[in-house]
Chain A
Amino acid sequence: MPTVMIPPVLRPQTGGDAEVSAQGSTVGEVLRALADAHPGTRSQLFAAAGDLNRYVNVYLNDEDVRVLDGLETPVSSSDTVVILPAMAGGRCETLH
């Protein structure tokens, strides 16, 4: 089964796991399986229409899926899907 690498900010939603196995033959299927198993991740990964949130980067092994076939990118059982949000660290965001 493909492995999904969970970024630190999403690990509370996966019970603290940094690596989760999820079934699927495309990146989209794997991520939806992840969201089914760990519903707290769904809104972080997917926009309402079902496409990936633009602020989340997803990689198949080391390649950004945007340069592959996006969510339709085929995945084999030895592949790793990496979820990567940006980090800025430091001070509290004062956006509002």
Chain B
Amino acid sequence: MATATEPIELIKSRIDQVDPRSANEEIEGGDAVLIDTREPHEWDQAHLQGAHLVPPASIRERIAEVVPERSARVILYCASGNRSARAADVLKNELGYESVASVAGGIQAWRETGLPVVEAEGLTPEQRMRYSRHTMLPEVGVDGQLKLLNSKVLLIGAGGLGAPSAFYLAAAGVGTLGIVDDDVVDESNLQRQVIHSTERVGMPKTESARLSIQALNPDVEVVEHNTRLDADNILEIIDGYDVIVDGADNFPTRYLLNDASVRMRKPVVSASILAFDGQISTFVPYEGPCYRCLYPVPPPPEMAPSCGAAGVLGVMAGVMGLLQANEVIKLVAGIGKPLIGRLLLYDSLATRFTELKVNRDPDCPICGEHAAQIPESEMGRFPDYDAFCAGHALHP
């Protein structure tokens, strides 16, 4: 009986192996049951026509379901011929199956022989190659990659935070990336806004971002919103997207975005950076707190300097922007644990992360139980957040 530590050569010596071509002939002849003994995510990437998936851990329990007759001809394969050899050993030498063979070299050798393989559905051959490092992750798989390809993500700002997240979301294959920015590339941006370049100084940031994204990944459709978000355009702009990445550079926009995204039930991944520090959280309307639950009122100007005044370490934009991209991927693919109800602080001088709990505010005027119900006719009308912020600046 095989043990986990027996050398594979020993196991192979007591079973029959068959080369891919001979196996294929038998299978096409209709006389063999074909068993794939790999894991589900490997099956999803590619498998052989007519095979039955029985992962190694369940071979003893499930083989009788799939092959009730011990006299049936059973051919097993896996990725490279080792797991199927062990499974063949179990079937033949433990369970009494009379005619068992393992495909030498597995599906790898099968492909090399030029025999047909059923490929992952929905991905083109180029995409299968491009995203292979994603699809081979069990948590992502072809399914998760397809979700990314079908997703629409809106980036508020193609600046410090937008630049790295745009790059990595494009690399990840997010199908549609919308970018809102009315600014042009400036030399002082290049210390951190890595999606732009020296030769593009003066170019609209949305256009510069689009060029970089398309060079990296032509699968991505870039929608340029060369404008600033305001009460008149926000609903129309955010409507077409599944997730919003907030890299805005001022409080009124953040409050406006929060208001609109809660009304439209759009999740927002929100981050901010200054000097050596960053903050990030993920706001999913009604599932967790909103921006207003966390910051009911903005600070006065002396408590909230801008990057232009205080400066920012370039890499901070990278760290926080990528944490944002990570959140987006988790939300789209439905994996892991997003930062809902959690605020992550990063201190780059200490290299320290601090996590704080964020609670839904029952009295939140935006998402609380007693928040005003917005009738359809009022959906596009928002409070004046410039005045709201200015008012708090004057009367903190």
Contacts and interface: CB of A to CB of B under 8 A. Distances in A.
A63 B304 contact: no
Interface residues of B, number: 50
Interface string A64-75: 100100000000
Contact of B308 (A7, A67, A85, A91): A91
Contacts, number: 116
A20 interface: no
Contacts of B302: 44
A55 B306 contact: no
Contacts of B396: 47, 53-55
Contact of A89 (B272, B296, B355, B357): B272
B314 interface: no
A87 B354 CA distance: 16
Which of A47, A84, A86, A92 has the most chain B CB atoms closer than 10 A to its own CB? Answer: A86
Nearest to B279: A87
A62 B359 CA distance: 11
Nearest to A55: B299
A4 to B, nearest CB: 13
Nearest to B296: A54
Interface footprint category on A: 20 to 34
B278 to A, nearest CB: 8
A8 to B, nearest CB: 5
A44 B274 CA distance: 18
A9 B305 contact: yes
Interface of B: 157, 159-160, 248-251, 254, 272-277, 279, 294-309, 312, 343, 345, 347, 349-350, 354-359, 386, 389-390, 392-394, 396
Interface of A: 5, 7-9, 18, 44, 47, 53-57, 59, 62-64, 67, 82, 84-93, 95-96
